[in-house]
Chain A
């Protein structure tokens, strides 16, 4: 527990550092007794999970922090055995159903059923329901989501669901309407800087505000990343200097270089090189959406203002196709080729205009 991220993670709603009014609302929600299903969403590193754990603690007390990992084996109707790891306390069960791949529907139904069927004995002193926490709901198959609809209503008496995801766009409407949606936005730059400074102070370190700001920028306000970066800075060089270079994740650097390669030359050969790089990124478990987003961001910052709308439009188009298809590399490369074509035409037109 010695990474700063883990060490200084707030454990109760009252100790949260930002979005305090939301924390207060959550507290009210718990206290008024009629706790609904929750759908917590927001970008990664905004503190969704922290907030959920705080809510759970508010609900059940410190007992929820005694976690254990359980290996469960679920037999699908097709006699196929599915192994899945769950994290559980006495009061809640956390599952990442996307681990089960295509069979996630079975996993969800089985797990929720087992949790919901056991009733609390002393309901006077405890809550009468348990909580099932599903993470990465946006990666659930449609099948599983539809299975969830009925389950949510049926076991309302003994079980509450907390769904956690990055974006609600992949969560089907019926589920969204059954849950209280809570958005956890990214903390603002000041909030990130505040958190960083506080943590450093607790560690007995002095963080120059410029460096805090720089870390915040590099991390894209992702607080988890910011804290990790800050700690990596500390490991690199302790007495912090304001213009210290902040370590970055490798894939971002690699992606930036890829974008530069695209901008510097447009030819089938270059496309072939870019393909190899894209494959490299994909095989390092970087999700294609993230690659697409990073690529677009880098390309947009490199190209002319006139092109920006078109490029953004193309990106949206190909990302949509990416979601519909299954072979990410085709779509990523199609976008790259399209960008190359647009960019090349623009540059040549520009050259012509300069010559005449």
Chain B
């Protein structure tokens, strides 16, 4: 903290000095200032650390090499330095840029917590630089003075004398790639000057020794054989060379400064601003205490916000109010920002990880990274989060607070993400405690999160990330601007001695979809093949730049149905013509690549199927349509075989469907693609039909059910059945039906009951009442556009419905009587005995009841079980007569509490006999 306070003081001085500088400048200066005082301290401590650890190797060592290699070497750092440049070009920058380039000191490798302790050392510009070698080549080590040993690939070793360089010290701002322009305006700090000087000298040594090495190699061995074939002595050198060569340009030229970032400025600023919000809690800085600078600050910004963010705010406010509002949110009770986590998302190769690293360093944090290559099981994850957020390194001089970067979080298991969430939402035991106080209680396991966490993912919408999305400050990465990317590529290729014009580089950008990493890798690949001249044709022909990327389905369909714009050539019929021409083959490859990288073949096929008929392709003979459908059915068959036999080796043939469609239907017009809904729609409708059928089948009595199947129902029965249950009924009261009509009605109701159909009263949205058939099988059998079938009138349906209800009750009653006649008997015979508590009507009707119970005493078999009599349906028209009526009445009275008696002869109205069973 002390160190930091010191820093702050300097920062303030600086800002007073250069108050009118551009803010971006200020950021960079900030960066430099921060490093300035830190460097010596860091360096010394690291060397001390090393000395304690490994006294034999006092010089700097690259992180990539492990200790074993180091020990075996005579003078590792120098040997490495001399031999390494043999692979690079004449005017290239220093071969080991992490050591001598001023832009290197905060390399990502170094910034990561490194247990070995090797990482922190690299820069040592004030260390006596190796002298320029004399031109004389010695066969054995010189007796006095420093020397450099050089070993060529054949294993012969020579020695170069070192001399003190006393040349004039020239400041060459161009060699300091990253500080050009910006520093020209400033007073150059002396450290920078020394760095530059050291680098320049080093470069000279490099060039000299490299030339010598080449000379030697040519002299000793004409043919440069592969290093691996050499004998054991050379192995060490080979390894180093290999290690050096394998340094990717991507790493070598990765940006070290905020201003060098290629990604979108707005995104960068947002992230920076978010990170600055943490300053209050992490560094304990109260921004209020700082002298405000009224001339540059907008009126609406309160001074409690971080200074950097304040400056930035002017600019991006116009761009996105929303993000700003997010960032302007109040700090919580622990003075943390509202969002504890920033979640960066975007396609690969846009520089998300780089941005996170650069900004974290810029804001004064020590970066701790967890990525997919680490173990991310729940326990380990918990441990690492706790370690990173609650501790800080004690041994290293670098006492900056940690900033946790969780890379590739979309691949992390759900459990790990839940742990992260739990960490975020952890509440401190003492609620109102200030953040700084809580920090002191580090021993306590359950302390609140006080360090920023940056998460990085490619796919924001992975299900596992859903809970995190709600709590995170979301930042989506837009595409890198091709112009900026091309500019950077031009710079790199210039430094590597490759000739490439802007058009070529733009083509490269386009080909890789502005993927920075892929562009640089392609360049390096071409360089590694020995090509110094890159032109557009070569860029088109290499396939390395393309990555296995996942584009949207719509994009794929669009590509398939649209001819590429450049080539106006009309391709109609098929492969013969297409494959012959270069364009055809390329299109073939292109579509194949796109289709196979999309992966979701079934969806792609559906989209093709739904859209191909609406394409504007002249096809009078329907040949291409036929072919397309043949291909579709082929792919369907393929799919079936694949899924059924688990034979996934056939999967590779699936993308050819898309290629076929491209050659059959591609057109210069922009196609209108609709999302394929048809299959889903069809399957959901099929499902609802099946549901209706199965509801109908479920309650059909067994004797009918055994003759039915779903198939016969839909194909044969249902339509006709619906006709049959719509007979012509006279619109009169069913009481007035003739016996024939009554018979018909009875049959109708029987049928409907047997097939589990009924009418249900329903209200239409207009407020009218209708009767609908339940279950809704009508929808299953009726087709649109056909003449409507005859429907019953509302009254008829009402009548039927009522009759059905009665019939159902009758049957239920019958069934009940059939089931428990034996039980009722003792109850009823027992009833007359306690005479006191007889109900009125029971007393009166006692006679009838008794009479009927005697009559309906059921037949009982030997075991006392009731023998089921034949089910006797009440037959209204038949001559069942008075007796059975009375019998039914008696039962009804006996079974229910409700009864009623009709007093005859009291009215002058038309008299009718009304039976209980008709009322029921």
Which residues of chain A have a CB within 8 Å of any CB of chain B?
Answer: 1-3, 5-6, 9, 44-45, 49-50, 53, 65, 67-69, 85, 87, 94, 96, 135-136, 222, 224-225, 228-229, 231-232, 235-236, 247-251, 253-254, 257, 266-269, 271-272, 275, 279-287, 290, 318, 321, 324-327, 329-331, 333-334, 337-338, 340-341, 344-345
Contact = CB atoms under 8 A, between A and B. Distances in A.
B621 interface: yes
Contacts of B754: 1-3, 6
A222 B622 contact: no
A330 B629 contact: yes
Nearest to B614: A272
- Closest 8 A/B residue pairs (Cβ): A67-B702, A334-B629, A2-B750, A325-B636, A228-B720, A283-B685, A249-B719, A232-B723
B712 A224 contact: yes
A14 to B, nearest CB: 20
A1 B703 contact: yes
Contact of A325 (B637, B689, B712): B637
B703 A285 contact: no
Given A272-B614, A286-B715, A337 B751 contact: no
A69 B702 contact: yes
Interface in B574-631: 609, 613-614, 619, 621-623, 625-626, 629-630
Contact of A44 (B703, B716, B755): B716
B786 A253 contact: yes
A225 B710 contact: no
Contacts of B704: 1, 6
A113 to B, nearest CB: 22
Most buried by B among A248, A251, A334: A334
A235 B690 CA distance: 28
B726 A329 contact: no
Contact of B714 (A224, A254, A286, A325): A286
A327 B689 contact: no
Given A96-B709, A135-B709, A284 B780 contact: yes
Interface string B618-656: 010111011001101100110111000000000000000
A330 B709 contact: no
Contact of B689 (A254, A285, A329, A344): A285
Given A67-B702, A250-B783, A341-B621, 20 more contacts: A2-B746, A6-B704, A87-B705, A228-B716, A228-B717, A228-B724, A229-B720, A249-B720, A251-B715, A253-B783, A254-B785, A268-B614, A269-B613, A275-B678, A281-B783, A282-B682, A285-B714, A285-B780, A330-B609, A330-B629
Q: Is the interface of A mostly helix, strand, loop or mixed?
A: helix
A249 B780 CA distance: 12
Given A285-B693, A337-B626, A321 B705 contact: no
Interface residues of B, number: 63
A268 to B, nearest CB: 5
Contacts of B629: 330, 333-334, 337-338
B544 interface: no
B12 interface: no
A340 B622 contact: yes
B751 A3 contact: yes
Nearest to B606: A327
Interface of B: 609, 613-614, 619, 621-623, 625-626, 629-630, 632-633, 636-637, 639-641, 678-679, 682, 685-686, 689-690, 693, 698, 702-707, 709-712, 714-717, 719-721, 723-724, 726-728, 746-748, 750-751, 754-755, 780-786
Contacts of B682: 279, 282-283, 329
Given A44-B715, A232-B720, A283 B689 contact: yes
Contact of A49 (B619, B707, B755): B707
Given A2-B754, A249-B716, A249-B719, A67 B703 contact: yes
Contacts of B703: 1, 6, 65, 67
Contact of B706 (A67, A229, A331): A67
Nearest to A247: B723
Given A2-B747, A283-B685, A284-B783, A44 B712 contact: yes
Given A225-B716, A282-B686, A136 B706 contact: no
Contacts of A326: 636, 639-640
Contacts of A236: 723
Contacts, number: 187
Nearest to B684: A283
29 contacts: A2-B754, A3-B754, A45-B712, A67-B706, A135-B709, A225-B716, A229-B720, A231-B724, A232-B723, A232-B724, A236-B723, A247-B723, A249-B716, A250-B781, A251-B781, A282-B686, A283-B686, A284-B714, A284-B780, A321-B633, A327-B636, A329-B679, A329-B682, A334-B630, A334-B632, A337-B626, A338-B629, A341-B621, A344-B621
Nearest to B693: A285
B720 A330 contact: no
Q: Of A224, A235, A272, A290, which is in contact with the most chain B CB atoms at under 10 Å from its CB?
A: A235
A250 B641 CA distance: 35
A231 B750 CA distance: 15
A324 B781 CA distance: 27
Most buried by B among A69, A85, A340: A69
Contacts of B716: 44-45, 222, 224-225, 228, 249
- Of the candidates A247, A268, A287, the one having the most CB atoms from chain B within 10 angstroms of its own CB is A268
B637 A321 contact: yes
Contact of A87 (B621, B689, B706, B717): B706
Nearest to B638: A325
Contacts of B780: 284-285
Nearest to A325: B636
Contacts of B626: 334, 337-338, 341
A282 B682 CA distance: 8
A69 B705 contact: yes
A102 to B, nearest CB: 10
Given A53-B706, A272-B614, A337 B714 contact: no
A67 to B, nearest CB: 4
A330 B723 contact: no
A158 B664 CA distance: 62
A270 B120 CA distance: 74
A326 B751 CA distance: 37
A11 B714 CA distance: 25
Given A67-B703, A87-B702, A290-B715, A268 B721 contact: no
Nearest to B690: A285
A279 B707 contact: no
A182 B162 CA distance: 105
A65 B633 CA distance: 47
A164 to B, nearest CB: 10
A312 B619 CA distance: 25
Contacts of A49: 706-707
B746 to A, nearest CB: 8
Contacts of B630: 334
Nearest to A228: B720
A136 B614 CA distance: 40
Contacts of A1: 703-704, 750, 754
B140 to A, nearest CB: 78
Contacts of B720: 225, 228-229, 231-232, 247, 249
A294 B336 CA distance: 73
Contact of B717 (A224, A275, A285): A224
A49 to B, nearest CB: 6
A284 B689 contact: yes
B328 to A, nearest CB: 53
A331 B781 CA distance: 23
A228 B621 CA distance: 44
Contacts of B784: 280
Nearest to B602: A327
Nearest to B643: A326
Contacts of A329: 679, 682
Contacts of B636: 321, 325-327, 330-331
A292 to B, nearest CB: 13
